[in-house]
Amino acid sequence: MGVLTTLFQCAQSPFLKGRQIFRCLSLNISTRVDCSGILSPVATPFNNDESINFDKLAENLDEWNKTDLKGYLVQGSNGETVSLSTEERLLLIKQARTFIPRNKILLAGAGCEGTMNTIKMCEEMAAAGADAVMLVSPSFYKSGLNDRSLIHHYSAVADRCPLPVFLYSVPAYTGVDLSVAAIRTLSQHPNICGIKDSGGDVTKLAALVHVTAGNNFQVLAGSAGYLLAALHVGCVGAICGLANVLPRELCQLFDLFVATTSGTAHAAASEALSLQRRLIEPNSAVTKTLGVPAMKFAMDIMGYYGGPTRSPLLPLLADQQEAVKTLFNEFL
């Protein structure tokens, strides 16, 4: 682990962090833990008595290693991680490491409910040979899991984790959706280098790319269903369960996307993406956040007649007006 650890520690330094290494439309720049591309969240093979079948794990990985997969997430949602004991989790990483070549990334799922338990698991995952950890959000005490406590949790873990940390938001399973604001804050932590967001909200993915720009932070889609759209809004890659089954097709889709945004189309694509990003926050304000009263107020700002809404909709409060003004100022 010696040399590798050193490299990761470099990767976490503020100096390197400050550099914008990842670019949504030019994905081929190497980095220490560069997840641009397609990764597979590996299914855990069981025997019929539900014990782990390590031989089959080796066979599967041998096949997948022949593809262009960028790497593997061992112990994601698709790995039935929650049905493994702690001992099995560590053994599984150790074994997987022996089957995964060094040019493919091994992300280890290391999230637990408690902060203390998660720190301990991260340390053990590092010792077991993982390249980085992916931390599913805590989920049980939903009313207590606000931005404040989630930022505390992830920061405390990232401070002590010997490996680079990826966040993981999967509301369909956890009922907890990491907010754009919390992710923006966490993206500034030198040891947090990306997120897998499986919520399926492409608008949110685009917003994440936008607000974390400059923080050397990789936004990864969490499902193949919206892979193309996610890449078009700036995600650098994806970790999708379907890669267990159709790894070649997903790598092909990634390559096709790269082709569509190269050459003469590149400039237009960049400009389109830039414009789309600038529109997301103003749009949210006049739709789901503040709704019609904000839209009419913005119309007034832009020289149209917005005027009052009809009751029960009420005029914006003063601070809401200021917020809308700020958002639309750049379009005047």
Active site amino acids = 168, 196
Residue 259 tokens read as 């082709």
118 phi and psi, to 5 degrees?
A: -70, -40
Helix axes 115-128, 147-160, angle to 10 degrees: 30
Question: What does the alpha-carbon distance between residue 183 and residue 167 come to, in Å, rounded to a whole number?
Answer: 8
Contact 217, 184 (CB under 8 A): no
- In the bound complex, what is the minimum distance in angstroms from residue 253's beta carbon to a second copy? 5
Nearer to a second copy, 13 or 287 (CB): 287
Please identify which residue in 2, 307, 318, 319 interacts with a second copy, judged by CB under 8 A.
307
Q: Is 206 in the site for a second copy (CB under 8 A)?
A: yes
Stretch that binds a second copy, among 11-19, 30-38, 95-103, 136-144 (CB under 8 A): 136-144
Closest to 12 in 3D by CA, of 146, 111, 158, 119: 158
Closest to 188 in 3D by CA, of 158, 161, 231, 144: 158
Nearer to a second copy, 22 or 328 (CB): 328
Q: Is 127 in the site for a second copy (CB under 8 A)?
A: no
Pairing of strands 37-42, 218-221: unpaired
Please identify which residue in 4, 156, 213, 323 interacts with a second copy, judged by CB under 8 A.
156
Pairing of strands 37-42, 71-74: parallel
Q: Is 72 in the site for a second copy (CB under 8 A)?
A: no
SS3 (DSSP) at 100: coil
CB atoms within 10 A of CB 116: 10
Total interface residues for a second copy by CB under 8 A: 118
Question: What does the alpha-carbon distance between residue 145 and residue 165 come to, in Å, rounded to a whole number?
Answer: 19
Annotated binding residue at 280?
no
Stretch that binds a second copy, among 47-55, 100-108, 125-133, 211-219 (CB under 8 A): 47-55
Instruction: For residue 197, give the H/E element and its range.
Output: strand 192-197
- In the bound complex, what is the minimum distance in angstroms from residue 114's beta carbon to a second copy? 3
Please identify which residue in 101, 305, 318, 319 interacts with a second copy, judged by CB under 8 A.
305
Please identify which residue in 153, 189, 196, 210 interacts with a second copy, judged by CB under 8 A.
153
Report residue 226 CA to chain centroid gap: 14
Stretch that binds a second copy, among 1-9, 75-83, 89-97, 181-189 (CB under 8 A): 75-83
- In the bound complex, what is the minimum distance in angstroms from residue 190's beta carbon to a second copy? 20
Residues 286/292/295/296 CA torsion (nearest 10 deg): -170
Q: Is 7 in the site for a second copy (CB under 8 A)?
A: no
Q: Is 312 in the site for a second copy (CB under 8 A)?
A: yes
- In the bound complex, what is the minimum distance in angstroms from residue 231's beta carbon to a second copy? 9
Please calculate the CA angle 31-222-131 and round it to the nearest 5 degrees.
35
Residues of this chain, 161-180, that bind a second copy according to CB under 8 A: 172-175
Burial of 199 (0-12, 13-18, 19+ CB in 10 A): middle
Instruction: Tally DSSP H helices, then E strands, for the chain.
Output: 14, 8
Q: Is 82 in the site for a second copy (CB under 8 A)?
A: yes
Q: Is 102 in the site for a second copy (CB under 8 A)?
A: no
Q: Is 309 in the site for a second copy (CB under 8 A)?
A: yes
Residues of this chain, 241-280, that bind a second copy according to CB under 8 A: 241-242, 244-246, 249-250, 252-253, 256-257, 259-265, 268-269, 271-273, 275-276, 279-280
Annotated binding site: 239
**Residues contributing to the annotated binding site for pyruvate:** 239
